[in-house]
């Protein structure tokens, strides 16, 4: 790892063994090592593959050290956790028999999502409970010593309706944990699970953070974050890339393909109440100068078909990079306040036209004086003063903004937006309405003339943050820092990141 060619060589072997492209920038040793380890641990069984590649390149003793780190109880911080070992064949047979008996009672999608949330990684779709159990039986145990297979049985017990089967499944888990000396860990898990509740406003989501590379090249640094389980905000970081702006569509496509249920063509599961299912969100956290970029029109390929606009299959939103990173408590408080008003009282527009005679200061003062204004309808922020108006709206906490990317937002098109806002009974429905507008424009012969092809939709939820660590911060991360593995902000009851 001490020289750049060595890291590139190691990454090449690891890519072949994982069957996943592993890219290293080659500029900083710590950044490259983090990328290599993250890529390996993001693949089921990847820890063993990483140790095998270390054995090939560095020898058996170095590989043994890696294996001790990846074994429950092997790390000094886990010294109090007893080695549990794999499930015995008898344990496996008993668990599989229970799952086979309750197969018709278990909602497979709910079981998979619950397990993915617990393990903080995506689970393959369309597996029966027995197949999923066999799959996770090969994964490493959790830091508290509990194997993923046991967690699957725990979630199965919570999802079956019959009390007798609930007791049978829970009894299997308790029996195994008691024999392994992990009963206290199991009790903590159960207590934590009982306290957690799903939030229906949290979507299955890919968040793409974009910032200038600041290396004089004009390139951008793309940091994807994947939230694969709806109802819970646990975004996991994916591999960052430094690319040209023209390559943004390819970077988004690669990030989507890392998660089967977010990939182009992946199934969108129907809602139990029969309502139209919300497609996965793709949200772009962009600096001011890129907010008018046509991200909904980025071409994404599905298999061998022709590339199609991203907005055809996904609900695409814009978010502010500067506001997400701000440490200005006033800006954050105003953002939270207007978002809360939007959700409770609906959409109230503060509009702006480039032909308005009032100056920017007067427009911002009117907005600041009226906290009930929760949305902005603007001319495109393609230069001064339009960009300054959008910056002012963001600074004042406005969480919703719409504009026509082509420039002037003509009155007849503003009327379309007014009608859309009026038709929405709950603000949470708006992303789906905008998605329908875009989808209709992409499939209609008159699409290039329709607003849906050109509408920019700024939808910035202050409760769904991602922790964006820049390359400059890497030098500050010591060897014990967990910033790369526990990357999602915790949000307290008031919506403040802690």
Find tokens 């010591």 and name the residue: 478
DSSP state of 497: B
What element of type H or E holds 205? Answer: strand 205-212
Asked whether residue 390 is domain-assigned, the answer is yes
Domain interval for residue 420: 205-459
Asked whether residue 76 is domain-assigned, the answer is no
Is residue 259 located within the same domain as residue 113? no
What tokens does 239 get? Answer: 């591999």
Asked whether residue 226 is domain-assigned, the answer is yes
Please say if the pLDDT value at position 211 is more than 80.
yes
pLDDT at 261: 65
The better pLDDT of the pair 485, 226 is held by 226
Asked whether residue 493 is domain-assigned, the answer is no
Calpha distance 231→414 (Å, rounded)? 33
Asked whether residue 370 is domain-assigned, the answer is yes
* Residue pair 307/301 in contact by the 8 Å Cβ criterion: yes
Q: Quote the percentage of the chain above a pLDDT of 70.
A: 86
Is residue 374 located within the same domain as residue 449? yes
Asked whether residue 368 is domain-assigned, the answer is yes
Judged by phi (left if over 0) then psi (alpha if -120 to 50, else beta), residue 495 lies in: left
Asked whether residue 428 is domain-assigned, the answer is yes
Domain boundary among 163, 195, 227: 195
Lowest mean pLDDT among 180-189, 209-218, 275-284: 275-284
pLDDT band at 397 (very low <50, low <70, confident <90, very high): very high
Asked whether residue 34 is domain-assigned, the answer is yes
Is residue 189 located within the same domain as residue 251? no
pLDDT at 333: 95
What helix, strand, coil percent values describe the chain, rounded to 5? 50, 10, 40
Is residue 64 located within the same domain as residue 102? no
Find tokens 């058996």 and name the residue: 60
Is residue 150 located within the same domain as residue 48? no
Please say if the pLDDT value at position 436 is more than 80.
yes
Most confident of 135-144, 146-155, 213-222, 294-303: 146-155
Is residue 123 located within the same domain as residue 12? no
Chain segment 95-144, per-residue pLDDT in tens = 999 999 998 889 988 899 999 998 888 787 778 899 999 989 888 888 88
Please say if the pLDDT value at position 488 is more than 70.
no
Q: What is the mean predicted confidence (pLDDT) over 302-331?
A: 91
Is residue 133 located within the same domain as residue 251? no
Please say if the pLDDT value at position 395 is more than 60.
yes
Calpha distance 68→250 (Å, rounded)? 38
Domain boundary among 36, 70, 104: 70
pLDDT at 477: 37
Is residue 152 located within the same domain as residue 287? no
Is residue 43 located within the same domain as residue 112? no
pLDDT band at 398 (very low <50, low <70, confident <90, very high): very high
Domain total of the chain: 3
Is residue 453 located within the same domain as residue 360? yes
pLDDT band at 388 (very low <50, low <70, confident <90, very high): very high
Average pLDDT in the chain: 83
Domain boundary among 26, 42, 70: 70
The better pLDDT of the pair 416, 270 is held by 416
Calpha distance 203→428 (Å, rounded)? 11
Is residue 151 located within the same domain as residue 96? yes
pLDDT at 260: 61
Is residue 183 located within the same domain as residue 288? no
């Amino acid at each position: 790892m001490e020289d750049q060619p060595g890291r590139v060589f190691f990454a090449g072997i690891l890519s072949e063994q994982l069957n996943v492209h592993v890219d290293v920038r080659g500029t900083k040793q710590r950044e490259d090592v983090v990328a290599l380890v993250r890529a390996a641990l993001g693949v089921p069984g990847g820890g063993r593959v990483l140790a095998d590649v270390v054995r090939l390149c560095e020898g058996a003793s170095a590989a043994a050290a890696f294996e001790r780190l990846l074994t429950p109880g092997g790390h000094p911080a886990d010294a109090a956790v007893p080695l549990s070992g794999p499930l015995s064949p008898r344990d496996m047979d008993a668990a599989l028999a229970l799952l086979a008996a309750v197969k018709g009672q278990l909602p497979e999608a709910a079981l998979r999502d619950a397990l993915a949330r617990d393990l903080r990684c995506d689970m393959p779709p369309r597996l029966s409970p027995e197949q999923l159990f066999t799959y996770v039986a090969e994964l490493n145990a959790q830091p508290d010593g509990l194997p993923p297979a046991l967690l699957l049985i725990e979630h199965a017990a919570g999802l079956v309706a019959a009390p007798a089967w609930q007791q049978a499944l829970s009894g299997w888990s308790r029996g195994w944990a008691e024999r392994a000396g992990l009963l206290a860990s199991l009790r903590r898990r159960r207590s934590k699970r009982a306290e957690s509740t799903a939030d229906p406003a949290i979507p299955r989501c890919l968040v793409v953070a974009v910032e200038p590379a600041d290396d004089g090249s004009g390139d951008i640094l793309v940091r994807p974050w994947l939230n694969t389980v709806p109802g819970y905000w646990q975004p996991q970081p994916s591999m960052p890339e430094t690319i040209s702006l023209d390559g943004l569509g390819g970077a988004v496509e690669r990030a989507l393909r890392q998660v089967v249920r977010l990939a182009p063509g992946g199934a969108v599961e129907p809602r139990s109440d029969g309502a139209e299912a919300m497609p996965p969100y793709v949200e772009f956290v962009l600096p001011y100068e890129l907010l008018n970029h046509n991200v909904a029109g980025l071409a994404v390929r599905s298999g061998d078909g022709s590339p199609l606009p991203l907005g055809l299959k996904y609900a695409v939103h814009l978010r502010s990079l500067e506001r997400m990173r701000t440490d200005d408590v006033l800006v954050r408080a105003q953002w939270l306040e207007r978002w809360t008003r939007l959700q409770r009282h609906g959409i109230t527009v503060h509009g702006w036209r480039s032909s308005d005679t009032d100056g920017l200061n007067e427009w911002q003062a009117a907005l600041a004086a009226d906290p009930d204004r929760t949305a902005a309808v603007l001319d495109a922020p393609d230069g001064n003063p339009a960009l300054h108006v959008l910056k002012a709206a963001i600074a004042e906490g406005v969480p919703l903004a719409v504009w026509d990317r082509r420039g002037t937002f003509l009155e007849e098109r503003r009327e379309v937006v007014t009608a859309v806002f009026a038709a929405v009974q709950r603000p949470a429905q708006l992303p789906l309405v905008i998605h329908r507008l875009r989808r209709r424009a992409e499939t209609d012969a008159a699409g290039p003339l329709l607003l849906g092809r050109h509408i920019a939709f700024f939808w910035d939820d202050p409760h769904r943050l991602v922790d964006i660590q820049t390359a400059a911060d890497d030098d500050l991360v010591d060897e014990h820092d967990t910033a790369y593995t526990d990357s999602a902000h915790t949000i307290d009851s008031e919506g403040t990141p802690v």
